[in-house]
Chain A
């Protein structure tokens, strides 16, 4: 199957290494504010990459990934509470992460079996409903403490400030997401998913195990999202249902992907960077009107760069190449 893919060019390796080196040095030179921005970019960028595991290859666009984000956060938070102070905070976080990932695996399989049979917009709506149900349930039953909220213990690591520590955790998360995505994309699974995205029925006819591939992609995506939710609430230190079960989290993942370029690994990261810088730096000081400007930018993006920024770059690139070829031929 390797034959489907060109080997990764050296320039891409070099660029990735450079970026990674920069990312590791960053927390020791940047201010806490810049680190917090970077944290958000890594977390939500990583989540958007995870969303792309299914949504990037196919038209199964989940409008409810906040469901897994919140599920993970609640699972880890509540388990941590049960474990109590006998366990160190780090142990609680790690056990919580494992638990959250396990729970979301089970939940994702359970919800995928019926929901993944739905296509297009119906799948989107079903996921939206799923996220709403979990959000309501977490608020409704006092067992989950979602309405009142509960604190999470403060994680410490010798020699690192909290903001640096969580930066590294989010960086790790983002790297895992990216690695999973790249592996999937370059595997048989990725090829199968791309086929499903082009024409599911034909793919099935040609022997692509469509049901299994969709399920695997969906479950991987859900597990990563849950892990992101755990790290997010530990970083905040206090959570309610409203902290995690937010429609805007679900929408943002799609938005970041579309702005950068759907189905690519760099696209969601670029999209997250741009949108977070835009809303929290450029327009961050505005008390009103910033929503209006965000809306205007979104619309401008879709009209001017319908395939995302990466699509735009590719177009510009191929145009230049074309121009060069034309010049070269007398």
Chain B
């Protein structure tokens, strides 16, 4: 095996995986804490990219600098979606009905994006991208490396929050046993809304990073929802570390299968890995079972 090519593939996979991780972590949180599969996840990702675009076009804010603003906006949107629609549907009917609600929401939001921005392919650019650099013979794509760094930073922040802030501990408690958490004085409704908000915020942030790397259009949302599915199942539900692991694994499977088997087969490999994982270890590599498995 050609050494350089091997390491190049490894590095490419890591970079791709870091970005997948960030884009999936929100999906994972909602899945873990609320047991809901959020079909509007992909559109949250895209909304982040489009908000970044709007901020850049109207106010000239660099997309990377716009991440906090975008996160704040999407936090509000996500929390509102949960409080107004999802909570009601789950209360009245079943957990499964949230699928229809989030699917409906994704249709509405996608059309809204088209109304405002049109169906055209858009892209983001930032002045703060790292230049492309070399490690030995391995070439590292600057834009993608910047994305990886930003992703790792954000995932680290989320981890800190989940394990050290009060609200983070409340989220984890609710994820494990919402009834018991309620007995301890945790307001599950508030935690659900906060979880949805945080999830949307992180999706939005990943949208900006994705926009810096690849062009995007309003119809990419299914792709990002599916990707989140795969990442979460590979890694494990409800934790940033799980998402990171799943994302990196997904990235490596994707690049190695394209490099050594053929680019065409990468999707087949990815979904086969997903299926295999579900069968062998349905709770993901990290293996913490949450609500979704019941």
Chain A interfacial positions (CB closer than 8 Å to B):
59, 61, 114-115, 117-122, 124-126, 128-130, 132-133, 136-137, 140, 247, 251, 254-255, 258, 288-289, 291-292, 294-299, 301-303, 306-307
Contact = CB atoms under 8 A, between A and B. Distances in A.
Given A291-B107, A298-B103, A121 B292 contact: yes
B100 interface: yes
Contact of A295 (B37, B106, B274, B278): B106
A126 B275 CA distance: 6
Given A298-B100, A302-B101, A288 B278 contact: no
A38 B115 CA distance: 32
Contacts of A121: 31, 35, 37, 292-293
A302 B278 contact: no
B121 interface: no
Contacts of A254: 99-100
Contact of B107 (A59, A129, A288, A292): A292
A307 B97 CA distance: 10
Most buried by B among A121, A136, A288, A298: A121
B85 A299 contact: yes
Interface stretch (B10-18, B56-64, B86-94): B86-94
B89 A292 contact: no
A133 B271 contact: yes
6 contacts: A122-B282, A125-B233, A126-B274, A133-B271, A133-B275, A299-B100
B141 interface: no
Nearest to A247: B222
Nearest to B226: A132
Contact of A128 (B100, B103, B229): B229
Given A119-B293, A120-B292, A288 B96 contact: no
Interface residues of B, number: 44
Contacts of A125: 37, 229, 233, 274, 278
A122 B100 contact: no
B37 A124 contact: yes
Given A61-B96, A128-B229, A306-B92, A295 B108 contact: yes
A133 B268 contact: yes
A288 B115 contact: yes
Contacts of B101: 298-299, 302
B4 interface: no
Given A129-B278, A132-B271, 18 more contacts: A61-B96, A117-B279, A118-B278, A119-B294, A122-B233, A125-B229, A125-B278, A133-B275, A140-B265, A140-B268, A247-B222, A255-B103, A295-B104, A298-B100, A299-B100, A302-B97, A302-B101, A306-B93
Contacts of A247: 222
Closest 8 CB pairs of A and B: A295-B107, A306-B93, A298-B104, A292-B111, A295-B108, A295-B104, A299-B104, A306-B92
Contacts of B267: 132, 136, 140
Contacts of B248: none
Contact of A59 (B96, B115, B274): B96
Interface string B27-48: 0000100010100000000000
A295 B282 contact: no
A17 to B, nearest CB: 33
A129 B97 contact: no
